[in-house]
Amino acid sequence: MQRPSVTMKDVAKAAKVSVMTVSRAFNADKSVNAESRKKILAIAESLGYVFDATAANLRTQKSGFVAVTIPSINNANFAATVDAISERLAQAGLQVLLGYSGYAIDREEELIVQLLRRRPEAIVLTGGHHSPRARRLLENAGIPVIEIWELPADPLGHVVGFSNAQTMHGMVDHLVALGHKNICFVGGEETGDQRGMDRRRGFIEAMTAHGLSPEHLFAAGPAPVSMREGALAMAKLLDSFPQADAVVCVSDLIAFGALSECQRRGIGVPEDIAIGGFGAYEIAAVAHPTITTIDPQPREIGYRTAALIIDLLDPARDVAPRQRVEIDWRLLAAGSTSRRV
Amino acid sequence: MQRPSVTMKDVAKAAKVSVMTVSRAFNADKSVNAESRKKILAIAESLGYVFDATAANLRTQKSGFVAVTIPSINNANFAATVDAISERLAQAGLQVLLGYSGYAIDREEELIVQLLRRRPEAIVLTGGHHSPRARRLLENAGIPVIEIWELPADPLGHVVGFSNAQTMHGMVDHLVALGHKNICFVGGEETGDQRGMDRRRGFIEAMTAHGLSPEHLFAAGPAPVSMREGALAMAKLLDSFPQADAVVCVSDLIAFGALSECQRRGIGVPEDIAIGGFGAYEIAAVAHPTITTIDPQPREIGYRTAALIIDLLDPARDVAPRQRVEIDWRLLAAGSTSRRV
DNA sequence: TTGAAAGCGCTAACAC
DNA sequence: GTGTTAGCGCTTTCAA
């Protein structure tokens, strides 16, 4: 039960070759005889040898890791982005080292330190808001830094994202075109969720641009907010502002909670009140009515991020610094916002 | 932009001490003068030094990693387990190295190889079904192996889980007590989702035990299955077996899809047909009606797993081999299954 | 309380 | 096509 610790040396001895040849066999170096290689790998397998990446990394100064931070693992959209990153990077032999910042800037700083100690070859950060020390560490790390899911005003390095504020212009335009005027917003207060706050800001901008009052803002509590909070916030909203004819929610989960609350009260959606969400979560497509939402293409964010990293790590390619990849978002109009008569 | 590569040597030189003293300072060794330590850490920070865990790991033969495999990141329950594991292990200075097996046994084998190369100090596997080579690798790895989310008949090492089949006895007993007889099951066919298949098996056992026909089984497609597939499967079910008075679904997502399909058709839940799910997903508590489900306590699985690992890695504690921690599950009766008249 | 030497398991660089 | 030597950045061990 103790570490058997079969090393390359043991394999070399058993195969009657030098350690170097074993190393070459494992790294698929062409200079090693194909037959020797096959034999060596077979002997290694029979000895139960497992290549030690730690030692190789130290020598080559390449960890094979890409560090990724997300606010929470329990969010289908971030999960989709991470999944896409992992999938694409695995093809390039890179492994994702994942960490959760818990929507807290100081948790993120500590996390970044822990991740940098592993000497990742690149680091991906969800969001563009970091502590001063975190910024310093990242700037000095000497590795590509990619911020995703936002378009930070002052990016650390590369960016793969979209304007969360802009998406809300799309949503408000859609509702105004349908004849809505008393439009409210739920979520995105000061909570550490920068993207939610950006969407709230975008809502205010868009309402103002249409000459409508952007003052009907309802809190849903600190991130992460979900369905339950959506129902509670909607109850508050209906009680305090019954004239509301549309509600924009910071996420589809909130929107679904809001929809549930309406159904509980016998309020018709979209006849009495329209509801819009964000995120194109599965629930938006399955709920009754289906929920109008914004698709931010989370997998596309992941793929583009991974592709950028692969390019950046390829010494043959000379990628310009501070790439800015803007991801298209789409409004998906659905049953929860239908034409007014 | 190239690796600045400040090493301990550089810090030592700047602080006018030996590398060894710097090492002691970073490891909070009491033998180092408190004032020296403070000074050294300040100098290190000013130089932008970041401790190199790779090098330390090689020397100490401890990686600080615990490897964890889950079928998919995009599953709130596995995410909750991983989150709880990470949280608890972080307190012990251990980092989670996460990988996705994609519900495929050969993907899992490849993943296990990749993870073992990083020399984790323990490995956690979701599920108890592995390829022969994977089993061999894990047995020879010389580290604690913990299988979770199931109670495998032939475990590799330790187990933290529950009987998926048993939970369906609970669900069927509940429905039978309410007077249901024509009970169907949706999901869990041969798809690589061992836990889903176990639940399907448990359903068949329980129905047989009650003297009821366990033959109304409906496929929902290969894992991962979700809301959409639930709606489609329910449509098939309603068309081919209109006498059905209750449906047990392999997960709450399927159950919600099934509920949606009923609502679309004007079929009353629970008046015309009762629906049960699994997983205690948030949707079960927010849907209308709320959905009766099984809570498998995913965070508890994570905490108990992490606690076990911490004990196992503590040389002072002598934990018996092949621990078997059984997690309690609970039936949460809700609106989708109400008493028959 | 601090330092010097040796080495963890692998690979770059250079021989042969 | 294969082997030898040296060393990646730390820490163990022993000495002072």
Q: Domain B8-59 class? A: mainly alpha
pLDDT tier, B188 (very low <50, low <70, confident <90, very high otherwise): confident
Whether A247 shows a pLDDT value over 60: the answer reads yes
A96 contact partners, CB below 8 Å, separation of at least 6: A65, A66, A67, A68, A82, A85, A86, A89, B98
- Give me the amino acid identity at A217: L
pLDDT tier, B191 (very low <50, low <70, confident <90, very high otherwise): confident
Both tokens assigned to A48: 């139960």
Is there contact between B240 and strand C, defined as CB under 7 Å from any strand atom? no
In the prediction, which pLDDT does A136 show? 96
**Cis before residue A270, ω within 30 degrees of 0?**
yes
Is there contact between B263 and strand D, defined as CB under 7 Å from any strand atom? no
Section A219-242 average pLDDT: 95
Both tokens assigned to B38: 């403070």
In the prediction, which pLDDT does B341 show? 47
In the prediction, which pLDDT does A340 show? 55
Which nucleotide lies nearest residue B50, CA to C1'?
D9
- Give me the amino acid identity at A321: P
Section B100-121 average pLDDT: 96
Distance A59 CA to C10 C1' (A): 6
User: A161 or B31: which carries more pLDDT confidence?
Assistant: A161
Using an 8 Å Cβ cutoff, are A229 and A201 in contact?
no
Question: Which residue has the closest alpha carbon to D6 C1'?
Answer: A59
The rounded mean pLDDT for chain B is 95
Q: What is the C-alpha radius of gyration for chain A, rounded to an integer number of angstroms? A: 25
Report in angstroms the alpha-carbon separations of B168 from B207, B211, B292: 9, 15, 12
Using an 8 Å Cβ cutoff, are A259 and A231 in contact?
no
Residues of A in contact with B83 (CB under 8 A): 72-74, 100
Name residue B125's beta-bridge partners.
B69, B147
Inter-chain residue contact A55 with B58, CB threshold 8 Å: yes
Look at residue B210 and give its three-state secondary structure. coil
Alpha carbons A147 and B255: distance in angstroms, whole number: 37
pLDDT tier, B132 (very low <50, low <70, confident <90, very high otherwise): very high
B317 contact partners, CB below 8 Å, separation of at least 6: B311
Q: What letter does residue A140 receive in the DSSP assignment?
A: H
Alpha carbons A134 and A147: distance in angstroms, whole number: 13
Using an 8 Å Cβ cutoff, are B124 and B111 in contact?
no
**CATH 3.30.1370.100 is right for the domain spanning B164-295:** no
Choose the weakest-confidence range: A130-144, A178-192, B161-175. A178-192
CATH superfamily of A64-162+298-327: Response regulator (3.40.50.2300)
Distance B260 CA to D2 C1' (A): 68
Closest C-alpha to B227, from A309, A340, A286, A333: A286
Using an 8 Å Cβ cutoff, are A37 and A11 in contact?
no
The rounded mean pLDDT for chain A is 95
**Cis before residue A321, ω within 30 degrees of 0?**
no
Name residue A148's beta-bridge partners.
A126, A160
Residues 45-84 of B with CB under 7 A from strand D: 49, 51-52, 55-56, 58-60
Using an 8 Å Cβ cutoff, are B180 and B216 in contact?
no
- Kindly list the domain boundaries of chain A, sorted by start residue: 8-59, 64-162+298-327, 164-295
In the prediction, which pLDDT does A285 show? 94
Inter-chain residue contact B55 with A58, CB threshold 8 Å: yes
Whether B3 shows a pLDDT value over 80: the answer reads no
pLDDT tier, A125 (very low <50, low <70, confident <90, very high otherwise): very high
- Run of H or E including A100: strand A95-100
Whether A263 shows a pLDDT value over 60: the answer reads yes
pLDDT tier, B245 (very low <50, low <70, confident <90, very high otherwise): very high
Using an 8 Å Cβ cutoff, are A213 and A207 in contact?
yes
CA distance B54 to chain A (A): 6
Both tokens assigned to B9: 């040597």
Section A180-205 average pLDDT: 94
Section B210-231 average pLDDT: 94
- List, in sequence order, every beta strand (DSSP E) within A196-279: 217-218, 246-249, 274-276
Section B251-257 average pLDDT: 97
Look at residue A165 and give its three-state secondary structure. helix
CA angle in degrees (0–180, nearest 5) for A281-A282-A286: 130
Report in angstroms the alpha-carbon separations of A10 from A50, A232, B317: 12, 64, 32
How many other C-beta atoms can be found within 10 angstroms of the C-beta atom of residue A211? Answer: 8
In the prediction, which pLDDT does B72 show? 93
Whether B154 shows a pLDDT value over 80: the answer reads yes
Q: What letter does residue A320 receive in the DSSP assignment?
A: P
Section B6-22 average pLDDT: 95
In the prediction, which pLDDT does A341 show? 47
In the prediction, which pLDDT does A275 show? 98
Alpha carbons B237 and B185: distance in angstroms, whole number: 9
For A72-124, write each residue's pLDDT tens digit: 999 999 999 999 999 999 999 999 999 999 999 999 999 999 999 999 999 99
Whether the domain at A8-59 and the domain at A64-162+298-327 fall into the same CATH topology:
no
Is there contact between A21 and strand D, defined as CB under 7 Å from any strand atom? yes
Inter-chain residue contact A1 with B286, CB threshold 8 Å: no
Report the percentage of chain A scoring pLDDT > 70: 98
Whether B38 shows a pLDDT value over 70: the answer reads yes
CA angle in degrees (0–180, nearest 5) for B79-B81-B84: 105
For B48-99, write each residue's pLDDT tens digit: 999 999 999 999 999 999 999 999 999 999 999 999 999 999 999 999 999 9
- Give me the amino acid identity at B11: V
pLDDT tier, B340 (very low <50, low <70, confident <90, very high otherwise): low
Q: Which residue has the tokens 């596997």?
A: B125
Look at residue A217 and give its three-state secondary structure. strand
Is there contact between A57 and strand C, defined as CB under 7 Å from any strand atom? no
- Give Cα B153 to chain centroid, integer Å: 18
Is there contact between A59 and strand C, defined as CB under 7 Å from any strand atom? yes
Alpha carbons B333 and B320: distance in angstroms, whole number: 38
In the prediction, which pLDDT does A2 show? 45
Whether A4 shows a pLDDT value over 90: the answer reads no
Is there contact between B285 and strand D, defined as CB under 7 Å from any strand atom? no
Residues 33-92 of A with CB under 7 A from strand D: 33, 36, 58-59, 61
Inter-chain residue contact A54 with B54, CB threshold 8 Å: yes
